[in-house]
Structure 1
Amino acid sequence: MATTLDTRHSHRTFAPVPEALLGALLWHTARTKEAARSPLGFQIEHRPTPSAGAIHPIHLVIQLTDEESWARYNPQNHSLDLLAKDDSLFQPLVDCSEQVVPRGGGHLILFVAEPGKTAAKYENPESLIWRDAGVLQGSLALVAAALGLNYCLLGITGNPWVAQLSDQGKLQGVGVAILGAKP
């Protein structure tokens, strides 16, 4: 563990991630371990990474190996749910991220907030949403390092493209990262 902490740093080169390693990364950071009913209109969840009020308003949307398909990580089933095959919505975001750090064979990870979930319990939820995103991003960085994967946060939010995922305007981009194997 100490070696992982001491050697962890952002990488700038990426190869495709084997499916088993992507699964391990998501399992150790974002899966639902337990869920319970709540009066909020949705379940609260216990996951490896903490969240204010056990709400977990941050979704992970991952660019798949074929680079044209995207999927949302489903933490309850530990699976990837494919999004619509049309990647035209994400192409401007892919182009923007390429200007920050070229992804090579890596996969983009979008951090997509659902602010209404946190607002159902807390007044002025914005700060909590950003904190939840940061905690999840940090957990992914540490587990990626422990698994021998390269990971880099890009310093962009993903908006306005992420916000277009919902017709109701209920989603917000709160970060973009690149994940890859060592080349």
Structure 2
Amino acid sequence: MKLKEPVIREAIKVRAPFKWDVISTIELKYKQCDIDKSFRRVLEERHSERNFTKVGIEEVGKLFYLVNRTKSQWTNEYSQPVEKRNYPSPGALHSIYCLISSINDDGWYLYNSRNNSFDLLKIDTPELACFKKNCFKMLAEIKSGYLVWYLCDTNKLSSKYKNITGLAFRESGAISAIHSLTAEAIGLSFCMLGIHGNDAAQSISSECELLGVGAAIVGGRLGI
């Protein structure tokens, strides 16, 4: 399959990020998360887990605090809002959203990187329910855990670049890889899934084309 090279647009038009319909917010209280493992040990011991124990959403929040929180923000030379987080992003635009949903309820939460919170979203479509069901079916007999879904705001990313598909998947791959390492470091089970969820992503909004670019499952670990 031929994939076109991404290029910076000659005329860059600033676009506002997709606006989510938020019902309520869970504020994550902690401001730091100490890690006892050395980086070498994390690398050597990291592996995909297929067993998940019950864990609270606040514990899952530690993963996103360490990886996804906004550490600083400014405006670039094109008057676009950009950010610094703990993973690379094309143009520092950070166009990938991370949504999570527990196997045990129907709610979907967005990690709010600037407020360090989980925002409960008003989204409910048959495609979302089907996608979630298919994700959890990929791991046999799973009874606990959270689905992590990576979604690209294509309007935001395409405001600076042409041919954005490869860029979107590279960024989501970077996030999920660092999620995997960080989960190992803080004692969570993590497993990437070979599914993108693009049909479900397109069912969320007719105003913005959201692109499903990956999924994973995270939860508690046996013996931790």
Q: TM-score over 0.5 for the alignment?
A: yes
What RMSD in Å do the two structures reach over aligned CA positions? Answer: 1.9
Counterpart of 2:73?
35
Structure 1 or 2, whichever has the larger Rg, is 2
Counterpart of 1:18?
56
Aligned-residue offset at 1:160: 0.5
Tell me if the contact between 1:50 and 1:135 (Cα under 8 Å) persists in the aligned partners.
Answer: yes
CA distance in structure 1 between the aligned counterparts of 2:132 and 2:101, rounded to whole angstroms: 10
Which residue identity lines up with residue 65 of structure 2 in the other structure? W
Aligned-residue offset at 1:23: 2.0
Aligned-residue offset at 1:13: 1.0
Unaligned runs of 5+ in 2: 1-38
Tell me if the contact between 1:64 and 1:71 (Cα under 8 Å) persists in the aligned partners.
Answer: no
Q: Kindly tell me: are residues 120 and 19 of structure 1, through their superposed partners in 2, closer, same or farther at Cα, counting changes over 3 Å?
A: same
Counterpart of 1:69?
107
Question: Normalization by structure 1: what TM-score?
Answer: 0.91
Unaligned runs of 5+ in 1: none
1:81 to 116, 119, 125: 119
Q: Which range moves more in the overlay, 14-23 or 144-153?
A: 14-23
Q: Secondary structure at the match of 1:161?
A: helix
Tell me if the contact between 1:21 and 1:147 (Cα under 8 Å) persists in the aligned partners.
Answer: no
CA distance in structure 1 between the aligned counterparts of 2:135 and 2:58, rounded to whole angstroms: 25
Q: Which range moves more in the overlay, 10-19 or 49-58?
A: 10-19
Alignment of 1:52-63 (within 5 A): 52-63=90-101
Which residue identity lines up with residue 100 of structure 2 in the other structure? I
* Alignment deviations for residues 126-171 of structure 1 (CA, whole Å, 9 cap, x no partner): 2111110100010110101101100001110012112211122510
CA distance in structure 1 between the aligned counterparts of 2:47 and 2:173, rounded to whole angstroms: 16
Identity of aligned residues (%): 32
Counterpart of 1:134?
173
Q: Kindly tell me: are residues 23 and 98 of structure 1, through their superposed partners in 2, closer, same or farther at Cα, counting changes over 3 Å?
A: closer
Tell me if the contact between 2:153 and 2:208 (Cα under 8 Å) persists in the aligned partners.
Answer: no
Which residue identity lines up with residue 193 of structure 2 in the other structure? L
* Alignment deviations for residues 80-99 of structure 1 (CA, whole Å, 9 cap, x no partner): 11112746442101221133
Please list every run of at least 4 consecutive aligned residues from structure 1 whose deviation after the TM superposition is greater than 3 angstroms. 38-42, 85-89
Q: Kindly tell me: are residues 87 and 11 of structure 1, through their superposed partners in 2, closer, same or farther at Cα, counting changes over 3 Å?
A: farther
Q: Which range moves more in the overlay, 12-21 or 148-157?
A: 12-21
CA distance in structure 2 between the aligned counterparts of 1:62 and 1:132, rounded to whole angstroms: 18
Counterpart of 1:167?
206
Counterpart of 1:148?
187
CA distance in structure 2 between the aligned counterparts of 1:110 and 1:54, rounded to whole angstroms: 20
Which residue identity lines up with residue 209 of structure 2 in the other structure? K
* Alignment deviations for residues 99-142 of structure 1 (CA, whole Å, 9 cap, x no partner): 31144210001101112222111222221111101000101101
Q: Which range moves more in the overlay, 140-149 or 116-125?
A: 116-125
CA distance in structure 2 between the aligned counterparts of 1:10 and 1:87, rounded to whole angstroms: 30
CA distance in structure 1 between the aligned counterparts of 2:207 and 2:171, rounded to whole angstroms: 22
Counterpart of 1:93?
131
CA distance in structure 2 between the aligned counterparts of 1:123 and 1:87, rounded to whole angstroms: 30
CA distance in structure 2 between the aligned counterparts of 1:64 and 1:101, rounded to whole angstroms: 14
